[in-house]
Amino acid sequence: MVLQRVIPNLLTWYGQNHRSLPWRDTQNPYHIWISEIILQQTRVEQGRIYYQKFIDEFPEILDLAQADEQAVLKVWQGLGYYSRARNLQKAAQTIVREMGGVFPHEYDRILSLPGIGEYTAAAIASFAFGMPFAAIDGNVKRWSSRFFGVDIPISKPAFSKMVGPLLQEVIEQTSHPDLFNQASIELGSQVCTVSQPKCEVCPLQASCYAFDKKLQNQLPVVVKKSQPQDWNLHFLAVHHHNEVFIVRRPKPGIWAGLYEFPSLTLPSHEKGFPAAWKQVLGGNLDILHIQRQVHLLSHKRIEASCWNVRWNGEEKPNFRVAGTLLFDASNALDENSELWISLNEIDRYPVHRLMQHFLTNNQHD
């Protein structure tokens, strides 16, 4: 096979050029696991600080298994894709309950844990235990499509079906599967980049299809993503004496398990104070100020308004009026889903970036 011939080049290149990262040079499966979950759809530089925080907060699997979900989400706050944090803890509990508290050494058992798919299972199996499973992430897909000249869109299962066995065949013949995977990923990240790949220094150049045919800019084939959906979202920061009202978002869904001021989705043209709130709170309410913020996610464009109001009634206002939806997350409740807290307690609760923005910039608007 063509690839087999240039593997020595690849390993030599990696030995001379790889970055030093906190989760390399360890074989602790727990540490490697945490790093791999953090790095899913997340750049190394963004994940780095979260990795350190997470390990410090939960040094062992047991610490993670026994923690409050809220504490896990709090460490994850701001990183996004919060189901990763919840699955991490679920998996830790499974390991403690069903696997004797020891991270499993078998590929199939690793793969069975929540939050771990084929890529992550292969990465952990090879990095922690030296097992020959080809780890195929976005970096590997990119160089593979160029090297082998595969024009199937890399997001399609058919692409992995085509390339996976080729890489698997090679890794089963190398004496260092862990180094092969590290080098493969690092190559895609540092050399075979999306734009302007550094073919002049690439250890695979001599056998690369795209280099030979000058098709580096045609490969890989990428399916264009759908446009983000507009979302007109209103938040109600209601102050009563020294307290504010927060709610926990339901699972599943965006920001599941995180806290926020109660929010309400309205048709995109409605930018005024929500009528449903006015109807219930109208008489005893002063609107102090409004914060407007456009918040961009990969799949949503959120036009958010945060209404800071003072409630003048003696008793707390009642948000649970029969037949009226006063905020989106007003279902699936337990005792901690709706809370009145003093504003300086908010740091104890995990919140999303948009909520954090409203809290941080509250004095100056």
In the chain, DSSP assigns E strands to 229-240, 243-248, 259-260, 263-266, 285-296, 300-311, 338-342
Q: In the stretch 48-77, what mask flags binding to DNA with x, by CB under 7 A? A: ------------------------------
- Least spacing, CB of residue 194 vs DNA, in Å: 5
User: Under DSSP, is residue 344 helix (H, G, I), strand (E, B) or coil?
Assistant: helix
Query: What distance in Å separates the CA atoms of residue 202 and residue 153, rounded to the nearest whole number?
Result: 23
201 binds DNA (CB under 7 A): no
- Least spacing, CB of residue 270 vs DNA, in Å: 21
Phi-psi region of 349 (alpha: psi -120 to 50; beta: other; left: phi over 0): beta
39 binds DNA (CB under 7 A): yes
363 binds DNA (CB under 7 A): no
**195 versus 344: smaller Cβ distance to DNA:** 195
- Least spacing, CB of residue 210 vs DNA, in Å: 14
Choose among 70, 86, 65, 57: nearest CA to 339: 70
Residues between 143 and 162 that touch DNA (CB under 7 A): 156-158
- Least spacing, CB of residue 324 vs DNA, in Å: 23
123 binds DNA (CB under 7 A): yes
**300 versus 316: smaller Cβ distance to DNA:** 300
**185 versus 244: smaller Cβ distance to DNA:** 185
292 binds DNA (CB under 7 A): no
Q: In the stretch 216-255, what mask flags binding to DNA with x, by CB under 7 A? A: ------x-xxxx------------------------xxxx
- Report the alpha-carbon angle 320-332-64, nearest 5: 130
Retrieve residue 232's tokens.
Answer: 């007109």
Retrieve residue 334's tokens.
Answer: 């337990």
- Least spacing, CB of residue 176 vs DNA, in Å: 14
Q: What would the 3-class secondary structure string for 296-329 be?
A: ECCCEEEEEEEEEEEECCCCCCCCCCCCCCCCCC
Q: Among the options 36, 169, 186, 335, which is catalytic?
A: 36
118 binds DNA (CB under 7 A): yes
Candidate list 194, 206, 288, 321; residue touching DNA; CB under 7 A: 194
Q: Which amino acid is at 175?
A: S
164 binds DNA (CB under 7 A): no
Retrieve residue 352's tokens.
Answer: 């999303």
41 binds DNA (CB under 7 A): yes
263 binds DNA (CB under 7 A): no
265 binds DNA (CB under 7 A): no
Asked if the peptide bond before residue 165 counts as cis, ω within 30 degrees of 0, the response is: no
Choose among 170, 177, 131: nearest CA to 147: 170
Query: What distance in Å separates the CA atoms of residue 274 and residue 232, rounded to the nearest whole number?
Result: 11
The 8-class DSSP code of residue 282 comes to G
Phi, then psi, of 79 in degrees rounded to 5: -85, -25
36 in catalytic set: yes
Candidate list 24, 53, 176, 310; residue touching DNA; CB under 7 A: 24
Q: How many residues line the site for DNA (CB under 7 A)?
A: 63
Q: Which helix (H) or strand (E) holds 33?
A: helix 29-38
Residues near DNA, by CB under 7 A: 21, 23-24, 36, 39-46, 78-83, 87, 114-121, 123, 135, 137-139, 142, 156-158, 181-182, 185-186, 188-189, 194-195, 222, 224-227, 252-256, 295-300, 352-354
Catalytic (active-site) positions? 36
